[in-house]
Amino acid sequence: MQLPDPAWCITQNSWEPAHQRHSETIFTIGNGYLSTRGVFEEGYPRESRATFLHGVFDDVPIVFTELANIPDWLELTILLDGEHYCLNMGEVLFFERSLDLRNGLLTRRVRWRSPQGNITLLEFERFASLADSHSTLLRVKITPENYSGTVEIHAGINGEADNEGYKHWEWLGQAAHNGSLWLHTRTRASQIELAAAARLSLKSQSDIQMESWNVHNHPTLVRRTALRAGESIEIEKVVVYYTSRDTSHPLDAARQHLAELPNPAWDSLWRPHQENWEKEWQTCDVEIEGDPEAQIAVRFSLFQLLIAAPRQDEHVSIGAKTLSGYGYRGHVFWDTEIFMLPFFTYTQPAIARNLLSYRYHNLDGARRKARANGFEGAQYPWESAATGDEVTPTWVPHFADRTKMVRIWTGDIEIHISAMICYALCQYWKATGDDHFILHRGAEIFFEVARFWASRAEWNKEHSRYEFHDVIGPDEYHDHVDNNAFTNAFARWTLQNAIRLYSWLTRNHPDIAATYCEKLHLMPAELQQWQDVAEKIYFPYDPQTGLIEQFDGYFQRRDVDLQALEPRSESIQSIFGIEGANLTQVLKQPDVLMLAYLLPELLDERSLQANYDYYTPRTDHTYGSSLGPSIQAIMACRLGKQEDAYEHFMRAARADLRDVRGNAGDGIHGASAGGVWQAVVFGFGGLHMDQHGWHIVPRLPSHWKRLKFHFTWRGHPYLIDLPNHGPFSSEAQDDSRVSL
Ligand code: BGC
């Protein structure tokens, strides 16, 4: 047996029911079409069993809509000489679970002594095919060690799947016969049909008895055979899914697809799956020598992004918790465009294009939101799902006292999201040179968002300037603030860039410019108004100190010495309460520094230093938002503070693997995973782009011996190899680049 490679495998050596939910998230597998949490085939109490398939949203109270947990493909009941295989009973003599990030194969080896004393070795494997995204496979090899007896397997598709108690599926039909089964269901409100077709195969030297149980909504295949001590059998379960989002006849498609798979299917599906994974890693792997923890954490982060990335579907996007848990119900935030998308833009632009297209297809939802709020153009929802309408819950139970309700304002007034989409579009355009996308999709988003900002701006007569009142910036500890610097700067940035885009269009593609003028009723007077608003937007910068005030009156709020509260294990919001935290200067996540990260041209070195020094000690780095640490790491890198940078980076890198906030059981922190890549590449690797192309100013942590990473610029793949020669100057090192 080969030992799992620690640079590529996440391994667990004991069964830990107390950390069940956390490890279910960590051992999630997926293929960009669906993901399945790392629950065990046999099922346990209090597990958070779920398979989520992109785009399968259904209505639900309070949070409007959520990804529906689809009928379960993993289920496998094993009876060993009449005893149920179940780790809660008998004794676990050996346990090892390992996720191989190279190929998404999840394995589990268990030696189990049953209550009657029978010892069995069980070796499980599963994967969701990356080459054939509709197919999922599991197999198990069973070897009785000290007894001879029967082995009985029940393998079903469970249509009773629910979302932690809430049921989304209604039954449409089923069958189970001749070694295969199918189940046809439909979501209750969104009416998305889903069909699952499954087959069970078993190789044994003894006779095999076969049965099919047509239990309502739970068709099941049964196999029974006899085994002698030391003899093994191998069972394979292959399940194919289709939905009415894929085809108008999902049941026919699923049955046909299953029928076309060889029996057994493992070997023929495994090879292309593995080859696809190899290709993926060739475009995006990051190698770190001299820091095994950072190495595996970075690969784990990239794996999480890759398994959530829609490859064939441009109508879906990656939710804040990817497809790995119930947290945030599959809703999509700015986490995607600002934290996750750069990884795709610079390594797999076709995926980035899909993710940006999702926003294009949901433009009407954003238009509806703007209209409903009395504005023009498009106001993207803070939380988005299938249609682009706002799906942020308005009220949720209080985190400390679930009998009380808390008003959530982000959906009403956290408005920077619309600019973030434009920012991501620009970044994609610069990196890829994909004019076609901007011409036919991006420009429309840009113009409509610019329109929104111009109509949302408020004229302050006294100061003769435009302002934005009653908003929430990135730092969500402070709500209902006026003139959040981040929001104001991005309103201006969007308006300016929309104007530039329009003039580029009129110069280079006058016919397309004319189409937009007609379609969107864009008039020169409106562009003039954008110009006027952009020029007069207030930006709270003090040239004396170089400081940017996060919002009006921020400096007057109570200053809290965060050091004095150490050691602590809760967020500042839990300690002071929602209102209490709002009255302090403590930040949940970088806000001014986030702005400095995204728009570096805004601040000179002196001002960057001043803002870093002011805001860093006032940020709740460990227990605030998981979006913060990677950005903080990059900004520390820019200022040459390597040790600080590394500390923040590791905070991001450990977010899920070490369950820093205690909520990894709800799903992967996708933004943190994307931020980890940015911290390595843009922070330590020092990659940056300007009008002349790309440059490298590496600043590796002193103990890293080497950093290697890939990126794509204007269609060319590059591999950057940075051996660590000790303290770096701000000049690029000559031996550091290899162009492919
Ligand atoms: C953060 C937001 C983020 C959201 C989803 C919140 O806690 O403050 O910035 O978009 O989580 O990850």
pLDDT tens-digit readout, 126-179? 999 999 999 999 999 999 999 999 999 999 999 999 999 999 999 999 999 988
What is the helix (H) or strand (E) element at residue 306, kind and residue range?
Answer: helix 292-308
First to last CA, the chain: 36
SS3 content of the chain, % helix, strand, coil (to 5): 35, 25, 40
Distance from residue 627's CA to the centre of ligand 1 (Å) = 7
Note whether 369 and 417 are within 8 A (CB).
Answer: no
Which atom of ligand 1 lies nearest, measured to the CA of 475?
8
**29-30: strand order across its sheet:** 29-30, 34-36, 51-53
Dihedral angle, C-alpha 76, 80, 83, 86, nearest 10 °: -50
pLDDT of residue 735: 40
Using pLDDT thresholds of 50, 70 and 90, give the confidence band for residue 1: low
Note whether 293 and 649 are within 8 A (CB).
Answer: no
Long-range contacts of 594-602 (CB under 8 A, 24+ apart): 594/474, 594/486, 594/631, 595/485, 595/486, 595/489, 595/490, 595/548, 596/635, 597/631, 597/634, 597/635, 598/338, 598/423, 599/489, 599/493, 600/638, 602/489
| Overall pTM surpassing 0.95 (yes/no) | yes
* Residues 219-278: tens digit of each pLDDT: 999 999 999 999 999 999 999 999 999 999 999 999 999 999 999 999 999 999 999 999
Which atom of ligand 1 lies nearest, measured to the CA of 328?
5
Share of the chain above pLDDT 70, in %: 98
* Rounded Cα–Cα distance for residues 586 and 618 (Å): 5
**Spatial CB neighbours of 722, under 8 Å, sequence gap ≥ 6:** 685, 696, 698, 700, 706, 707, 708, 733, 736
* Mutational test site, ligand 1, from 409, 420, 476, max ligand atoms within 8 Å of CB: 476
Note whether 273 and 168 are within 8 A (CB).
Answer: no
To the nearest whole number, what is the mean pLDDT of the chain?
96
Distance from residue 645's CA to the centre of ligand 1 (Å) = 22
Note whether 39 and 17 are within 8 A (CB).
Answer: no
**Spatial CB neighbours of 378, under 8 Å, sequence gap ≥ 6:** 363, 366, 367, 369, 370, 418, 445, 448, 449, 451, 452
Distance from residue 411's CA to the centre of ligand 1 (Å) = 12
Distance from residue 178's CA to the centre of ligand 1 (Å) = 49
Using pLDDT thresholds of 50, 70 and 90, give the confidence band for residue 316: very high
* Rounded Cα–Cα distance for residues 596 and 606 (Å): 12
Which atom of ligand 1 lies nearest, measured to the CA of 476?
8
- Res. 399: pLDDT tops 90: no
Distance from residue 313's CA to the centre of ligand 1 (Å) = 25
User: Residue 46 CB: number of other CB atoms within 10 A?
Assistant: 7
Which atom of ligand 1 lies nearest, measured to the CA of 671?
12
- Res. 2: pLDDT tops 80: no
- Res. 731: pLDDT tops 70: no
pLDDT of residue 227: 95
Helix (H, G, I), strand (E, B) or coil at 436: helix
| H helices present in 5-127, as ranges | 20-26
Pocket of ligand 1 (CB under 6 A): 320, 333-335, 474, 476, 588-589, 625, 627, 671
Report residue 4 as tokens.
């799992």
* Residues 173-198: tens digit of each pLDDT: 999 998 899 999 999 999 999 999 99
Q: Which residues are catalytic?
A: 476
Which atom of ligand 1 lies nearest, measured to the CA of 333?
10
Domains in the chain, start-ordered, CATH in brackets? 9-281 (2.70.98.40)
User: Residue 501 CB: number of other CB atoms within 10 A?
Assistant: 23
Distance from residue 340's CA to the centre of ligand 1 (Å) = 13
* Residues 64-93: tens digit of each pLDDT: 999 999 999 999 999 999 999 999 999 999
> What does the angle CA 341 – CA 342 – CA 348 come to, to the nearest 5 degrees?
80
Using pLDDT thresholds of 50, 70 and 90, give the confidence band for residue 400: confident
Distance from residue 331's CA to the centre of ligand 1 (Å) = 11
- Res. 304: pLDDT tops 80: yes
Which whole-number Å values give the CA distances from 182 to 204, 213, 247, 305, in the listed order? Answer: 25, 12, 17, 31
Q: Give the DSSP letter of residue 4.
A: P
Q: Give the DSSP letter of residue 537.
A: B
Which atom of ligand 1 lies nearest, measured to the CA of 670?
12
Q: Where are the beta strands (DSSP E) in 114-256?
A: 119-128, 135-144, 149-156, 162-163, 166-167, 169-177, 180-187, 193-203, 208-213, 220-227, 233-243
Nearest CA to ligand 1 atom 11: 625
- Tally: H helices and E strands in the chain: 21, 31
* Rounded Cα–Cα distance for residues 640 and 644 (Å): 9
Report residue 677 as tokens.
């890549």
pLDDT of residue 730: 38
* Residues 574-601: tens digit of each pLDDT: 999 999 999 999 999 999 999 999 999 9
Q: Quick one: how far is CA 228 from the chain centroid? A: 47
Distance from residue 23's CA to the centre of ligand 1 (Å) = 22
pLDDT of residue 691: 83
* Residues 607-652: tens digit of each pLDDT: 999 999 999 999 999 999 999 999 999 999 999 999 999 999 999 9
Nearest CA to ligand 1 atom 5: 320
Q: Quick one: how far is CA 627 from the chain centroid? A: 12
Per-residue exposure over 274-300, b if at least 16 CB sit within 10 Å of its own CB, e if not: bebbeebbeebbbebeebeebbbbbbb
